[in-house]
Homo-oligomer: A and B are copies of this chain.
Amino acid sequence: MERILMAHGSGGRLSHELITSLFQKYLGNSFLNQMNDATILPGQEQLAITTDSFVVSPLFFRGGNIGRLAVCGTVNDLAVSGAAPMFLSLALILEEGLPIAELEQIIQSIAETAKEANIAIVCGDTKVVERGSADKLFINTTGIGYVSRTLVNPQQIQPGDVILVTGTIGDHEIAILSEREGLEFETPVTSDCAPLNGLIDCFFQTGVKCMRDPTRGGVATTLNELAQQGGVCMLLDEEALPILPGVKGACDMLGLDPLYLANEGKALVIVKPEAAETILHKMHSHPLGQGAAQIGVVMEGKPGLVLLKTPLGGKRILGMLEGEHLPRIC
């Protein structure tokens, strides 16, 4: 009997297989098939909608908690879709026994983050399941935004375009891993978890063709998706990747690759070459864009292929995340 594996939730290749073989097969329609961070709905006012569940463990981590994450995750999916985040639903699944003080702290953080992101929480739901039937607290947020900007999407990406990232990569997942049971280590790294709509408001301009937040699966997987959807080839420059020393050290220690680590406050932004410098400059002018960098270019080549130029000048393929991203010794 085939069963769900942890790897089906990794955001990598097996997740994509599940989406294709099950969800698109039965549920596929022109909305779902957009396959972007948020779906653009028709109507007098063009709406964008996105949903995500948050199952992070531990609930509290360096730089945030599940509540902040749940707001940021959905706000960011709207923002990178070019929409102004407007309304948020909030659905909680609580495990019996959850200390109410912890819940209160998380709800407080949700309130603060929603305010910071300027989004209104408009409806909610709470379910309680037996102890052992959930891991403390799961949150779903679904977000609605109004699309007022020119459309952004991977179909607009063309050879010659420039790939920017709004800051250092891998921070969030290292912050989480450092507190995972059985793996504990002390790290200077904090999660980057933040709502990006303010930053995007700040740098958005003509020439921005596509944006995406590299969450599960990381920069490598997200760029693979974009390269596939846009039918283009990409070349990253390994030396250009903004990576904190703490993230590098932790990756070395655990045998992980920062390119596959989840981020929760970063966007990949594909822009016309002539706009790149201005946009990068604007990013740097915003507190959340301090570490922004140009990390690669879009090239002619096999559609869907992402390559990485090593410091010594060699090139290698950067694939999607395969299976779970597990610490290893080999």
Contact = CB atoms under 8 A, between A and B. Distances in A.
Contact of A128 (B8, B52, B98, B111): B8
A275 B3 CA distance: 54
A122 interface: yes
Given A32-B124, A49-B89, A129 B23 contact: no
A15 to B, nearest CB: 7
Given A4-B95, A134-B135, A123 B31 contact: yes
Contact of A107 (B2, B7, B22): B22
Interface stretch (A137-145, A150-158, A236-244): A137-145
A97 interface: yes
B18 A126 contact: yes
Interface in A1-29: 1-10, 15, 18-19, 22-23, 26-27, 29
A31 B138 contact: no
Contact of A4 (B52, B128, B132): B128
Determine how many copies of this chain the complex contains: 2
B51 A142 contact: yes
A57 B101 CA distance: 28
A287 to B, nearest CB: 25
A45 interface: yes
A94 B129 contact: no
A24 to B, nearest CB: 10
A259 interface: no
Interface of A: 1-10, 15, 18-19, 22-23, 26-27, 29, 31-32, 38-39, 41, 43-45, 47, 49-55, 57, 87, 89-101, 103-104, 107-108, 110-111, 114, 120-130, 132-135, 138, 140, 142, 144
29 contacts: A2-B100, A2-B101, A3-B97, A3-B98, A9-B94, A9-B127, A10-B128, A18-B126, A22-B107, A23-B126, A27-B111, A32-B123, A39-B122, A41-B122, A47-B144, A49-B122, A49-B123, A49-B144, A51-B140, A53-B92, A55-B93, A55-B133, A57-B133, A89-B142, A91-B140, A134-B134, A134-B135, A140-B142, A142-B142
